[in-house]
Amino acid sequence: MNATQRDDGLVGIYGGTFDPVHLGHIRTALQLRRELPFAEIRMLPAGQPPHRDPPEASAAQRWYMITRVTGPERGLVADDRELRRPGPSYAVDTLEELRAELGEARPLAWILGMDAFAGFDTWHRWREIPRLAHLVVMTRPGVREPERGPVADLLRERRAVQPQALTERPAGRILVWRVEPLDFSATDVRECIRSGKQPRFLIPGVIWSYIQREGLYGSAH
């Protein structure tokens, strides 16, 4: 923890597969760190993501990559708790663990993209999540806010207009935040590499060097 971080401030949890971590993740995390009252943002690679195919890169490889782009000087901290926990990585379990560690009063916010938020009602014990944390939903090009159904209802009930709402209480509000549009995903990065192209401008050079060294995503052709 550095001098600018406070041990009672808002903690952001940016979960994802990070297969691989790309500039869409890094730039949005840094933008949220700058624009919202976060004391720190924890980047948490999922061990076994419950809603998708298993990642191509191993847990150790995804952990290595995330630690290349995080650092306390950026206010981004890598957290390996989901990689260490056996079984599917459910956000609700992670948040219960963090609540127990950080205490009832500490404001926590789970950060997710609008695409992930649209399917929030399929998450394990999703109705309990707002009791444990706020949600910060990042806009994503081509993905509209849900207009009907349980996720739209949840958003209507809990929507925060101002970022300060996230520090006024420990959990329960949903803030939709416009992030600089970066219209690509880790799937696009993997496809770009597999087709023999260089993923310039999509991932940092240090991540590309590592992917080539490890022969990940079919880069060894």
For the chain, give percent helix, strand, coil, nearest 5: 40, 15, 40
Phi-psi map region of 156: left, alpha, beta (phi>0 left; psi -120 to 50 alpha): alpha
CB atoms under 10 Å from CB of 24, counted, come to 25
Closest contact distance (angstroms) between CB of 15 and ligand ATP is 7
Q: ∠ CA 78-107-158 to the nearest 5 degrees?
A: 115
Total site size for ligand ATP, rule CB under 6 A = 19
Largest CA-CA distance found in the chain, in angstroms, rounded: 53
12 is an interface residue for ligand ATP by CB under 6 A = no
Q: Which of 32, 69, 112, 175 binds ligand ATP (CB under 6 A)?
A: 112
Only one of the segments 75-83, 92-100, 111-119, 144-152 lies at the binding site for ligand ATP (rule: CB under 6 A); that segment is 111-119
**Burial of 37 by CB count in 10 Å (0-12 exposed, 13-18 middle, 19+ buried)?**
middle
**Burial of 87 by CB count in 10 Å (0-12 exposed, 13-18 middle, 19+ buried)?**
exposed
Q: Which of 11, 12, 13, 24 binds ligand ATP (CB under 6 A)?
A: 24
146 is an interface residue for ligand ATP by CB under 6 A = no
Does the bond joining 20 to the residue before it have cis omega, within 30 degrees of 0?
A: yes
Closest contact distance (angstroms) between CB of 76 and ligand ATP is 13
199 is an interface residue for ligand ATP by CB under 6 A = no
3-class DSSP assignment, residue 57? coil
Q: Which of 33, 42, 62, 140 binds ligand ATP (CB under 6 A)?
A: 140
187 is an interface residue for ligand ATP by CB under 6 A = yes
25 is an interface residue for ligand ATP by CB under 6 A = yes
Closest contact distance (angstroms) between CB of 112 and ligand ATP is 4
Closest contact distance (angstroms) between CB of 184 and ligand ATP is 6
182 is an interface residue for ligand ATP by CB under 6 A = yes
Q: Which of 47, 75, 107, 113 binds ligand ATP (CB under 6 A)?
A: 113
Helices (H), 48-149: 59-69, 81-84, 91-102, 114-118, 129-132
- The footprint of ligand ATP (CB under 6 A) covers 16-19, 24-25, 28, 112-113, 115-116, 138, 140, 179, 182, 184-187
